Amino acid sequence: MTTDTDETQPRHFLDVDDLTEEELFTVLDRATEYKRAVEAGEDHADLPGQTLGMLFQKASTRTRISFETGMTQLGGHAIFLGQDDIQLGRGEPLKDTSRALSRYVDVVMARVFKHENVEVLAEYADVPVVNGLTDDAHPCQTLADLLTIREQEGGFDEVSVAWIGDGNNVAQSFTIGAALTDLDLTVATPEGYELDDAVLERARDLGGDPTTTHDPVEAATDADVIYTDVWISMGQEDERDVRMDDFEGFQISSELLEHADDASVMHCLPAHRGEEITDEVIESDRSIVFDQAENRLHAQKALLSWLLE
């Protein structure tokens, strides 16, 4: 969460509310400009010679490619360090890893399991640390989500979004982002899969008023945007049978969309087609899933250039 800090210390991005509302809109505006520059074929090498160190405990497609491509387009360089390359949980204290990395790179992005690991990295780093995903939060995804919704709806005023599915890390960060942008958010989860109470409290402290329900039809009714994610995330494979039963009725299907008029459909990918969303829906004209995926690139470039100013 945003706190008063010494101006000599680096700014970190561990969750969406590490940005103020004004800063969030600054990053989104910059992302729009970078997207326009890409489409126009214009050079925007704003980080020449700078290096991003990328730490991956969890596998990734979009996160790795979007960050690596983004640094290249900004004139910099990215270094990939996978599970077998980093010392998380293998002897070296994480604070030592953080301090050493700070001597080599200009910014660190970490995609790990435990949220406390990115917090330790940030505590001991002399360069900005970006949360590329933890079990508790996925703020870079939320930046792309908000950019996509603003493009699709022309802004955030009077836009209603229904999150339907698991109250997971993506849902939690999106709830905070919705609060910062005054989106009208309804979160529908099965019983036992709700958002953390602390996340709802943070959203309300930011001026948001998310509605929670266990009824996916209630959430979908008259929504402008419907958003979902997988029911079985990485590391939850042994819960598959239980979760498939618990999430019955929460699939984003053509039948559910009948309650939502012309709602757009979002998914952060990868999608388990036939589970949380049907193939028909994700391939339909309502789907803005791949615009959303592209916007990871533009939003993260904006964030990196803003952090390194």
CA distance 99 to 86: 14
Is 229 labeled as catalytic in the residue annotation?
A: yes
Is 141 labeled as catalytic in the residue annotation?
A: yes
Residue 4 located in a structural domain:
no
Same domain, yes or no: 157 and 124: no
Residues making up the chain, counted from first to last? 309
Q: What is the pLDDT of residues 45-76, one digit of tens each?
A: 999 999 999 999 988 999 999 999 999 999 99
Output DSSP code: residue 195: P
CA distance 306 to 309: 5
Residue 7 located in a structural domain:
no
Please state the domain count of the chain.
2
Is 240 labeled as catalytic in the residue annotation?
A: no
- Residue range(s) defining the domain that contains residue 103: 12-138+294-307
- Which of 50, 57, 73, 141 is labelled catalytic? 141
Same domain, yes or no: 128 and 212: no
Q: Are residues 161 and 210 in contact, defined by beta-carbon separation less than 8 angstroms?
A: no
Same domain, yes or no: 18 and 81: yes
For residue 178, what is the enclosing H or E element? helix 169-181
Residue 264 located in a structural domain:
yes
Q: What is the pTM of this model?
A: 0.95
- Which of 202, 224, 268, 300 is labelled catalytic? 268
Taking residue 234's Cβ as centre, other Cβ atoms within 10 Å add up to 13
CA distance 101 to 96: 9
For residue 110, what is the enclosing H or E element? strand 107-111
Residue 21 located in a structural domain:
yes
Q: Half-sphere exposure of 152 toward its Cβ, with a 13 Å CA cutoff?
A: 26
Give the pLDDT score at 12.
98
Tokens coding 177 = 């982002």
Measured at the CA of 57, the angle between CA 54 and CA 62, to 5 degrees, comes to 60
Same domain, yes or no: 148 and 127: no
Tokens coding 244 = 């498939």
Same domain, yes or no: 276 and 157: yes
- Residue 44 belongs to domain with CATH number: 3.40.50.1370
Is 214 labeled as catalytic in the residue annotation?
A: no
Same domain, yes or no: 204 and 88: no
Same domain, yes or no: 111 and 132: yes
Q: What is the pLDDT of residues 120-161, one digit of tens each?
A: 999 999 999 999 999 999 999 999 999 999 999 999 999 999
Same domain, yes or no: 177 and 280: yes
Same domain, yes or no: 208 and 298: no
Q: Percent of the chain, pLDDT > 90?
A: 89
Please name the residue that has the structure tokens 């339909």.
284
Backbone angles phi, psi at 286, to 5 degrees: -75, -20
Residue 107 located in a structural domain:
yes
Residue 89 has pLDDT above 70, yes or no: no
Is 111 labeled as catalytic in the residue annotation?
A: yes
Mean pLDDT, the chain, as a whole number?
95
End-to-end CA distance of the chain: 21
Residue ranges for the known binding site for carbamoyl phosphate are: 60-63, 87, 111, 138-141, 268-269, 296
Residue 6 located in a structural domain:
no
Same domain, yes or no: 95 and 145: no
Query: For residue 2, what pLDDT band results from cuts at 50, 70 and 90?
Result: very low
